[in-house]
Chains A and B, each alone.
Chain A
Amino acid sequence: NAGVMQNPRHLVRRRGQEARLRCSPMKGHSHVYWYRQLPEEGLKFMVYLQKENIIDESGMPKERFSAEFPKEGPSILRIQQVVRGDSAAYFCASSPTDASYEQYFGPGTRLTVT
């Protein structure tokens, strides 16, 4: 049973470009969470999605960031017009239900903005 998959693992973008990060949850999981981790800091929650629904986006910056989890295909975290401060590791996690206490994390995408 494949775990949570994220791609790309490493992404380099110049300032002003767009970054698209993909996450495929574990088989049977319909709840996806995105986190950002800056060096020497903890995981910061960004957004929680179910298929075709955003459940909680309280951690998402108001501008330039968006997320979706379509009926078919992976969840996408999109960052428009990237800036150097967006450089971080972005982790996706999934769970089978909303009340599950355990989240399974993917390997992360390391975004570097030059």
Chain B
Amino acid sequence: GQNIDQPTEMTATEGAIVQINCTYQTSGFNGLFWYQQHAGEAPTFLSYNVLDGLEEKGRFSSFLSRSKGYSYLLLKELQMKDSASYLCAVRDRGGSYIPTFGRGTSLIVHP
């Protein structure tokens, strides 16, 4: 199984940059996901990392270090609509490719 840790809550200011960290422990890493979930809504896919390095997609970037069991999601030019929960999920090599989700980080963006 996996053990996934991410901060419970973070706050930031509109226009700023925020980094949300995720650490994990797994017996056979096979990919890490970031999802965004607004209150009362479905999670939506943001990024997928399976190799080390930075993946950039518009204002959002995701970084992975497999040797350190570490990932972060970087959000630039924050907007009020970015206030949401950000879920880190890790997939193990064994089993049926089902990702295990962390508890999520609630990001609050202030004007």
Contacts A/B (CB < 8 Å), 15 sampled = A35-B101, A42-B103, A43-B87, A43-B89, A45-B100, A45-B101, A56-B95, A59-B98, A98-B96, A101-B31, A101-B50, A103-B45, A105-B35, A107-B41, A107-B42
Query: What is the CB-to-nearest-CB distance from A43 to chain B, in angstroms, rounded to a whole number?
Result: 4
The tally of CB-CB contacts under 8 A between chains A and B is 52
B interface, size bucket: 20 to 34
A113 to B107, CA, bound (A): 29
Interface residues of A in 46-95 (CB under 8 A from B): 48, 55-56, 58-59, 91
- Where chain A touches its partner, the secondary structure class is loop
Determine the residue in chain B with the shortest Cβ distance to A46.
Answer: B98
* Cα-based distance from A41 to B33 in the complex (angstroms): 17
The residues of B with any CB-CB pair to A shorter than 8 Å are 4, 31, 33, 35, 41-45, 48, 50, 87, 89, 91, 95-104
Contact of A42 among B33, B45, B48, B87 (CB under 8 A): B87
Please classify the interface of chain B as helix (H, G, I), strand (E, B), loop, or mixed, using the class held by over half of its residues: strand
In Å, the complex CA distance between A4 and B102 comes to: 23
